[in-house]
Amino acid sequence: MEPVILSNTSAIDKLNNVLQQLKKTFVGKDDIIDLMGICLAGRENLFLLGPPGTAKSAMVRELARHIKGKTFEYLLTRFTEPNELFGPFDIRKLRDGDLVTNTEGMLPEASLVFLDELLNANSAILNSLLMALNEKIFRRGKETKKLPALIFIGASNHLPEEEALQALFDRFLIRVHCGNVDPAQLEKVLHAGWDMEQTTETDYTGITEEEVRYLQTLTTSIDLSVVRPAYIELVQLLRNAGVQISDRRAVKLQRLIAASALLCNRRTALRSDLWVLRYIWDTEEQQEVIAGIVNVAVATDESHPQQHPRANINSTPDADIIYEEVLQMTAQWDTASGAERALIKDRLRYLNGRSEWISSETQRNYVLQPIEDLWQKIIQTA
């Protein structure tokens, strides 16, 4: 059945334009930026996993500037108190015996919330955060306030180890790895970063909060009936592979499938919109397994001009491709010039890091051995 195309696409075009501008600024981060757009339209939360210095905070701040709404950003520590996130009690009303929170400039008033080092959260703020993330509600004592947050984005350089933090992590439906950019793209990164330094506030075009809320409402009108049988089958396959997909998560994921269709100006979902399920992993080891299962499901769909561009792109590392490239660099090392050797070493560091994300231990060791051999060769000729 031919998918129905949306007629009024002004807000959709604005959000897609914002995403394109972000991609020009942040080279090599297209998958993360696309997922930001999907989660924003689907009103679901996004988790970024990666080391410091990989542009996690910068991307979120840039997205916030394009939305032109109130933003709340906070770096969590083990000692963060509820007042630091939700605001202190109003002293004036406290004198009258009323426990009312002064939320001005704090999380309860923000349209975009970014919680850096999320998994440092302690028990004092955990319950309040869980309710805010899951139900978009702030509750403190007798106070109950609906939150205006369009999206919560969390970031960390590690995954949860404690059971209490696993519950917090579970509130982020989509998870994506944010690593260093391929050294081959470093020149583009430098140019884009320099251009960003010279950009002024007036150079920004964006989308309003009201338009994003309209998109979030529009997402619920997307017809999922055609793709639902394939979605049910995919959920069962992932569950059989050991991926924990609760009924609650399965229901919520439909919003992101719908958001994929919406951002492609469609009123009906395609099987290819199931690509978003690549990013529901709980552990690093699951990434390649999930991607493999989802890619098979997506590949059975016929290509369509309105198909989401991310559908046929897989960002998980390919062991065979890395292996062949390392062998090629090893053959080039002896005759390489000083400048060429510097590039080889930079590239090898990058591939070394990528190899750690190969879930199969056999394949990972298969790739890491020639990498180690080349490092030994480099050390001996230093």
> Tell me: the pLDDT tens digits for 120-157?
999 889 988 999 998 899 887 777 889 999 999 999 99
pTM, full prediction: 0.80
CATH fold for the domain made of 10-203: Rossmann fold (3.40.50)
Per-residue model confidence (pLDDT) at position 381: 84
Q: What is the residue extent of each domain of the chain?
A: 10-203, 222-299, 319-380
β-strands 143-146, 174-177 pairing: unpaired
Residue 31: name the closest of 191, 182, 152 by CA.
182
d(CA 190, CA 26): 10
Residue 359 binned pLDDT confidence (cut-offs 50, 70, 90): low
Q: What is the pLDDT of residues 157-167, one digit of tens each?
A: 999 988 889 99
Per-residue model confidence (pLDDT) at position 277: 96
> How big is the chain by its Cα radius of gyration, in Å?
23
* pLDDT above 90 coverage of the chain, percent: 54
Amino acid 160 reads P
d(CA 294, CA 285): 15
Per-residue model confidence (pLDDT) at position 355: 81
Instruction: Please name the residues in contact with 59: beta carbons below 8 A apart, sequence gap of 6 or more.
Output: 22, 26, 29, 32, 33, 36
Instruction: Please name the residues in contact with 238: beta carbons below 8 A apart, sequence gap of 6 or more.
Output: 245, 277, 280, 290, 293, 294
Per-residue model confidence (pLDDT) at position 6: 55
β-strands 46-49, 151-156 pairing: parallel
